[in-house]
Structures are given as C-alpha cells and as structure tokens.
Structure 1
Amino acid sequence: MADAKLWILVGNASRARLFATDAKAEADWSLVEEFHHDESRAKSEFLRDQPDNPNAGTLHGPPGENEPQGRRELEHERFARELSGVLDRGHDRHAFDKLVIAAPPEFLGRLRKALSTRVRQRVLLDVGSDYSTVPARDLPERVPLL
C-alpha cells in the first residue's frame, strides 16, 4: 500500500481543510478543498435575545434550536454531516484509500457519528487536536500519518 491515496481532514466546528497525499510520510500534502461553516461561528446570533420560552433553563430536555446552545450544537452537527458527505463522495470516486482526521475532541466525536460505515472503515487515525489555524506547511509535522 506504498502508493495508497491518503486524505487528511483537519478542522473544527466552523472550518476545515482537506489534503491529499500518498501514504509515504515524507510526501507533500496538496490542498483538495477548504470548507467554512460561518453559522457555527456566528456567536452574536447565538447570544442575541431569544423569544420567551417557558421551558428555557429547565430540565425539560435538551436545548431547543432557538436557544443559543442548541443552535450552536445544531450548526456543529450540520457541518459534521456536510464534511461526512464530502468524504462519502470522495470514497465513491475512489479518491482516497485511507483517511486521517484531526479535530478537537468534541467535533471529532460529531464527525465520527456522522461518518458512513464505508468511510469509517477507511479511517487510519483520528487525532483529537485543533490544528485548524496551523499553516498548511506545518501540518505534516503535527499530524502523524504512521
């Protein structure tokens, strides 16, 4: 599998970068695509006044979509599903043989849940760290491939 195609997804709940390389650790990474989910970062929208909700702040269930925390979680899940769809399409095109994912632990958990079984079977490694702001040239030093 020395010539295996490897994809590396590096991101967090609001942005991600997808790189391709071969399975050799010394190979260069090439950027395939960048993704932005501005809705996950729109904190001012999450924190603005919400309509009165008689169940807000009670133990009647998880935060609703209209509550700041519930809206944020919903957007994080949407972005995880969006990225999962990209990986599914890449799998269907045989664009990669193995996959490495680096994301903060909470978002990594969301991604794992969103991945299809066929993509999940291609995951070589997942790293619970946020490297979304690390320059692309420095990523190979931070994200282990072997």
Structure 2
Amino acid sequence: MHEDFQHRLVVVADAAQAKIFRFRANRLPLEPVEVLQHDESRMKNRELVTGGRGATHASAGHGEDQTDGSRQAHEHEADRFAGELADWMRDARTRQGVDDLVLVSAPRFLGRLRERMDTPTSRCVTRSINKDLVTHPTDSIERALDMDVVH
C-alpha cells in the first residue's frame, strides 16, 4: 500500500467542490490532501445555458424554458462532477490502495456520487454523513465525524 494512503480518506463534497482529507488511525485532526474544483457548477444559469456572460437565447414568454434549461444545465454539471469525483476515488483505491472512505455531502449530491461509483469503490465507503459541509471550516467537519474518533 502506498505510504500516503495507509489510512481513511474523508471526502467532503458538493456539486462544485470536493475537499479530501487524510484521517490517520481514526484520530483528529484531519489532514488536507487535495481540493477538487468544478467551476462550471458555480456558473450562473445564463452562463451555463448560453456558454458566456450576457447572451441569451430565450425570447419573451419563454422564461420557463430558460429556467428548465438552466436547471438541466446545473444538474448536468453536478452529474459531471460526481463522475469526476467517483473516478478520483476509484483511482485512489486502485493506485494508492485506499480501502476506507467516509463521504460527507448533502443527500442530493451524495446520491449522484453513489450512482457514479463503481462497485469495488462503493464497498470502501464505511460511513456517509448527509450534511453539506464543504464550505465549513475543518473543525466543523471534524465535529461531524466526532462520534467515531479519538482526539
């Protein structure tokens, strides 16, 4: 097993960002490993649908279509990022020997992520926390994990 990954990884994610932490021997503090960004998920509706600022393809009276289109665009980007993150976790499992993953995410994105994970990687998930904590400081994430850890 690769030296850096002889431990549990904690993956804290939403549709636009994932923070990956090392969780050695079930002890705090968490150690940051990597931050993955998906800037397209942060784009405004108009930018996603049109591909740039200011342009629009919807005519008057078609606001609902534009809203549906922008919602679909955001969902597509969330799905893309879930796939990228699932690939990252698969690579950590296959290349680095990671066999213990904790997922922390809001239920909707957690569902997207689980749908995109391969079966062997899914089996490495030992705990899931249904909370959106990606923008919270590390100590908030540690408190969410606190029921299983030693300080």
Task: Kindly indicate whether residue 53 of structure 2 is the aligned counterpart of residue 49 of structure 1.
Answer: no
**Taking structure 2 as the reference length, what is the TM-score of the superposition?**
0.77
Instruction: Tell me what 1:110 maps to.
Output: 112
Instruction: Tell me what 2:144 maps to.
Output: 142
Task: Kindly indicate whether residue 4 of structure 2 is the aligned counterpart of residue 5 of structure 1.
Answer: no
Q: Per residue, is there more helix in 1 or in 2?
A: 2
Contact in 2 for aligned 1:100/1:145 (Cα 8 Å): no
Contact in 2 for aligned 1:16/1:132 (Cα 8 Å): yes
Query: After TM superposition, which residue ranges in structure 1, 4 or more long, deviate above 3 angstroms?
Result: none
Instruction: Tell me what 2:52 maps to.
Output: none
Q: Runs of 5+ in structure 1 lacking a partner?
A: none
CA distance in 2 between counterparts of 1:49 and 1:144 reads 47
Compared with structure 1, are the counterparts of its residues 32 and 144 closer, same or farther at alpha carbon in structure 2 (3 Å cutoff)?
same
Range with greater deviation from structure 2 (88-97 or 108-117): 88-97
- Deviation, 1:29, is 1.4
CA distance in 1 between counterparts of 2:118 and 2:35 reads 21
Contact in 2 for aligned 1:6/1:99 (Cα 8 Å): yes
Contact in 2 for aligned 1:125/1:145 (Cα 8 Å): no
Range with greater deviation from structure 2 (83-92 or 94-103): 94-103
Q: Runs of 5+ in structure 2 lacking a partner?
A: 1-5, 50-54
Q: Report the 3-state secondary structure (helix = DSSP H, G, I; strand = E; otherwise coil) of the residue aligned with 1:13.
A: coil
Contact in 2 for aligned 1:102/1:143 (Cα 8 Å): no
RMSD value over aligned CA atoms?
A: 2.4
Contact in 1 for aligned 2:133/2:140 (Cα 8 Å): no
Contact in 2 for aligned 1:46/1:69 (Cα 8 Å): no
In structure 2, what residue type is equivalent to 1:35?
A: L
CA distance in 2 between counterparts of 1:145 and 1:45 reads 42
Contact in 2 for aligned 1:40/1:75 (Cα 8 Å): yes
Identity value in percent: 28
**Taking structure 1 as the reference length, what is the TM-score of the superposition?**
0.80
In structure 2, what residue type is equivalent to 1:104?
A: A
Range with greater deviation from structure 2 (43-52 or 90-99): 43-52
Tell me the number of residue pairs that the alignment of Structure 1 and Structure 2 aligns: 133
CA distance in 2 between counterparts of 1:113 and 1:102 reads 15
Task: Kindly indicate whether residue 22 of structure 2 is the aligned counterpart of residue 32 of structure 1.
Answer: no
Instruction: Tell me what 2:121 maps to.
Output: 119
- Deviation, 1:133, is 1.2
CA distance in 1 between counterparts of 2:112 and 2:16 reads 13
